[in-house]
């Protein structure tokens, strides 16, 4: 047996006869819990539905602008019609042929093109209406639109509940490829809320209604002056219609576009 150089009995010297190292035992770490945040539901729980946008000033009414010379045909038919049905009757057509073509090829729903819907705005200070009031420059508009005076138009207001089951809401030009479209009642409500929180979207947005809208659903007719008010009131009264007719000049002055 080997001897210890330090004079200890064999096996007693820790330097010459170090004890064997203990076997290493693998330590198993507990798996880390996955990180969670407000967008990631904890394991075993059901993902919460994303909250819908809310706004305190949701639009209550939508607005359709037309030339006063188109009013007799509208009264005679008893309803507002999309361009595909009213173009032959309308005396003053604002959109150019290229605009009609673009709207005819853009789908509002699976069954209706944009042109097959009545076009409304979410505000009487809509971007497109300001462009018409400011001279209707560019290929979007017709010669009729360029010749027309703002005081010769009327603004027809329809309460949203009257058309809510069919209402389609966009965040811009309905014929543009980049425009977002809410074509179901729930989606339309979300689009209305988003527009209410952004004035630029409110002014640019369109509200579309496929098919026709009874003239009896028109709650308000706004005009530019007293003379026009008296003329429109007589025409509506002769047809047995009771929509309120109000003079509101600010709606007939172009809104500056940023």
Instruction: Give the model's pLDDT for residue 255.
Output: 74
- pLDDT-derived band at 24, boundaries 50, 70, 90: low
- pLDDT-derived band at 32, boundaries 50, 70, 90: low
- Find the mean pLDDT for residues 52-62: 74
Instruction: Give the model's pLDDT for residue 168.
Output: 96
> Is pLDDT at 38 greater than 60 in this prediction?
no
**Rounded to whole angstroms, how far apart are CA atoms 255 and 162?**
28
- Find the mean pLDDT for residues 34-60: 53
- pLDDT-derived band at 12, boundaries 50, 70, 90: low
- Find the mean pLDDT for residues 68-89: 89
**Rounded to whole angstroms, how far apart are CA atoms 194 and 200?**
11
- The 3-state secondary structure of 142-163 reads CHHHHHCCHHHEEEEEEEHHHC
Is residue 222 a contact partner of residue 125, using CB atoms and an 8 Å limit? no
More confident residue, 142 or 84: 142
**For residue range 87-136, what is the model confidence (pLDDT) as tens digits?**
667 899 999 999 999 999 999 998 999 999 999 999 999 999 999 999 99
Give kind and range of the element (H or E) at residue 210. Answer: strand 207-210
- Find the mean pLDDT for residues 177-193: 90
- Find the mean pLDDT for residues 62-80: 95
Highest mean pLDDT out of 13-17, 40-44, 150-154: 150-154
Q: What is the mean pLDDT of the chain?
A: 84
> Structure pTM?
0.77
> Is pLDDT at 57 greater than 70 in this prediction?
yes
């Amino acid at each position: 047996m080997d001897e210890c150089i330090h004079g200890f009995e064999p096996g007693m010297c820790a330097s010459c006869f170090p004890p064997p190292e203990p076997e290493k035992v693998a330590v198993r770490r507990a798996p880390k819990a996955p990180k969670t945040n407000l967008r990631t539901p904890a394991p075993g729980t059901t993902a919460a539905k994303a909250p819908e946008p809310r706004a305190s000033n949701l639009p209550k009414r939508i607005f359709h602008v037309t030339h006063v010379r188109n009013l007799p045909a509208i009264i005679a038919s008893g309803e507002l019609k999309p361009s595909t049905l009213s173009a032959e009757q309308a005396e003053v057509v604002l959109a150019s042929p290229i605009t009609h073509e673009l709207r005819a090829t853009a789908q509002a729903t699976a069954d209706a093109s944009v042109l097959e819907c009545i076009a409304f705005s979410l505000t009487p200070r809509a971007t497109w209406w300001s462009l018409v009031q400011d001279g209707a420059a560019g290929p979007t508009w017709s010669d009729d639109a360029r010749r027309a005076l703002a005081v010769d138009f009327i603004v027809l207001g329809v309460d949203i509940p009257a058309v809510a089951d069919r209402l389609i809401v966009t965040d811009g030009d309905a014929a543009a490829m980049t425009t977002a479209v809410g074509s179901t009642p729930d989606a339309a409500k979300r689009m209305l809320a988003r527009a209410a929180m952004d004035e630029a979207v409110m002014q640019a947005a369109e509200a579309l209604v496929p098919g026709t809208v009874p003239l009896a659903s028109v709650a308000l007719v706004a005009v530019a002056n007293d003379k026009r008010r008296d003329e429109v009131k007589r025409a509506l009264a002769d047809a047995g219609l009771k929509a309120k007719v109000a003079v509101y000049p600010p709606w007939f002055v172009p809104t500056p576009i940023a």
